[in-house]
Structure 1
Amino acid sequence: MLDDHTQDGPVPDPAASQADPPEEAPRVTPRAVILSLGMLVTSALAAVLVVVPAPYAVTSPGPTRDVLGEVDGTPLIAVEGATTYPSTGELRLTTISSTGGPGYPSSVLDTLRGWVSSSSVVLPREQVYPPATTQDEIDETNTEEMVSSQENATVAALTELGYEVPATLVVAGTVEGSGAEGLLEEADVLTQMDGVDLPDYQTLIGALADVTPGDTVTLTVQREGQARDVDVVTGEREDGGAQIGVFIDPQFDLPVDVTINIDGIGGPSAGTMFALGIVDVLTPEDEAGGEVIAGTGTMDVSGAVGPIGGIRQKLVGAQRDGAEWFLAPADNCAEVVDHVPDGLRVVSVSTLHEAREAVVAIGAGTADDLPTCTAG
């Protein structure tokens, strides 16, 4: 007898062994073709906007830096040779960011964004960067101006605090057409004016303040180891004061060693905030009193605050980074009017002493009467 055997597993379905018929491919409609082409063209245009350079320079609000803060764990303002004090507030220098210079061209997209942004300025490139200027030349100039700015700020701050800052007044050249031209030489050292010793730059400035333009002064100079007296007819400065018509390269003997640690920022416009920071660090008073105060302005060794460029962009950058107060050079006030961001109050300053008093008033909550940029 034969046994019947059964097979484990599913029983094959004859229908399942037949292949499924292929799906019909979707039809390509004219609308789909147009959309695809449109996307392709848009992508190509976007690439052009990003890559193709435009003949414009675009300036926008740049970063700000707290001069009372730290850079990689190191105080931005480091002092040796004097006691330093902590602060609770912030003193922020302001900058602008720009494209359009050699090596950093503005793209079409950069330019379009600048045109529609209320905080950016777009100008023809040649108005900002001379055609023959190289990026190396720009960088060198910015670095030199920053170094000079830091030195001027240090001298002005120490003088404001009552330090004596001796200086050797070295002649770097003469002004063309001035009374000094042809009489004083490069590397001459000014030692006296009308018999008064000139131990520092401030004494020279003070002596000239008593001179009427057109008067003749007698300058005593050291030239090749010999003392010489030179009679010079003074000229008139733009502000009406007298000038002797020489460029001075003062060599300072600083009584306190101040180092400013900052990279990636050039130019002279941080001088005022550097000087205020040095004053704050070297005084026990907490001048800023917890307030966030931004500002800008050049600083010369006599403590005068000078005008700068890009003031409107710097106002926006200050407000963006939390400042409620802004110290602006008095000579920039006409540009400030009607361009102050909401929540920011602008104080007009002409000297380091005025700027210092403004910071103290802001920190003390008594700043209501400070002069503001309310008129051109």
Structure 2
Amino acid sequence: MSTQSAVLSSLRPMSLCVDAAGAIVSAGPTTRKVLGDIVGTPLFDMLDVSRPKGIATLSALRAQSGAKLHVRARSAPETPMVAQIAMDEAGGMVIDFGFGIGVAEAVRRHGLTAADFSATDLTLEILFLIEAQQAAMAASRKLNRRLHVARLAAETEATTDGLTGLANRRAADLTLRTLEAGETPFSLVHVDLDFFKQVNDRFGHRAGDTVLQDVARDLTKAVRPGDLAARIGGDEFLLVFPGLADADQLIRLCERLIGRIERERRMNDRIYAISASAGIALWHGGSDVSTEDLMGQADRALYASKAAGRGRVTLAEPRCQPPPDVSPKAPGNFADGS
């Protein structure tokens, strides 16, 4: 390699020199790394000019001296390049290559580093900007994922009862507003525990919390995917059944649920039992009854169940009025465990 070619390769590592006959006489180190051993090869045996069109001879190529060309090497067709030509005194030419907007992909594909480019080549700055952009985008995606997870967690916390894991009153209100805006029939079941106060009084509030959690599991088993089980007060619960407004089916469901709640339980070597009362309200669609009206019907039906002796379910009558007073009946069955 001549001194001139060596200097050129050092300053412009993505260049090559072509003699007057069109043969490649030298190539810079980066050119060889990307295109392979091309010295001695006729230029048009390894290079195609894609733009401008119709350049397939040396004379046509010489006419483009100083212009920007879009080229592809046959040994690396997956790497489009740009090129500029400068003529020498002997009729040969120097061709300087670049990767244009495909620099990042070319660097990745051919394993190029900073050493493969001239120190004054803006490619290094472009690569830095690309890497910085990718890092910023990765950080942004990570932040967005964290924000999304945090938002979901906040939404879940805002609509979940912390003690039982059931939905809370806010979630119930949102569900009822959504159902009210549609035409799908649905039903409400208002459930209130019987004799729960005796559990708190006799065993303490931690025991009461355990009972509420246990009842929550019973409620969860009673609903279908898409239904709602919510704790809306101390020992008050609401079940919402979209698409279900069959009174007989709901009554049977509530009777089974109350039977599960009434099973004997053991705490601190003592056996105790609680019960539950329920009120059902139905919405068949197409009426002007609001969800507030429906909740009122379910509430009145619940009080009717308590007035009738507790541990039972009542189907709401739209004109049903709450009793003026509900006196406590027999307390839960507490007995020493054996």
Which TM-score band (shorter chain)? under 0.3
TM-score normalised over the length of structure 2: 0.23
Structure whose CA Rg is larger: 2
More helix as a share of residues: 2
More strand as a share of residues: 1
* Larger RCO (CA within 8 A; separation ≥ 6): 1
TM-score normalised over the length of structure 1: 0.21
